[in-house]
A and B are shown apart, each in its own frame.
Chain A
């Protein structure tokens, strides 16, 4: 079993749609959680951290369920520019990050 699992997609959605990505992690001792975004042929960039109480950044909402070891990302009012691969990331002891395989999103006009 992979330590961080994501549906690889692709998710094909029209502009303006709401789309949700899910992620599960296996290490109950994981300490921090993130969503990264990776554009084609570019480096991954931090999209947002994920906090236990849930957090929002504009059109993006992240939630964490520690009991179920489950992380989600909701994107509202999708834009063409949201097309990318979204990586679920957990941090374990020693500042080591473990990356999921990514979920590809394609937003169509």
Chain B
């Protein structure tokens, strides 16, 4: 079945550092890929998405590129801020389906 694997956290960085959170997936078809973010005390929010190979999703300075050849969707940001501290979830959804399959989440802490 479909699955998503994220790098294990927690990840702790200093402000303005470069961020990469790895995400790889296993799927039988060509799924859509997502990154969700969960800030403390809040629900998951869609951060960005990509629906086909080589698409790049971007939002709030974060980027991720759909790499079919490596089945990856790594999340990157060039300069993180304290306000980026949250839990980040990578997810996939099969074409035509409603069900989301999530990775285990990566807790990110940014220190000033």
Q: Are chains A and B native binding partners rather than an unrelated pairing?
A: no
* B residues with CB within 8 A of A: none
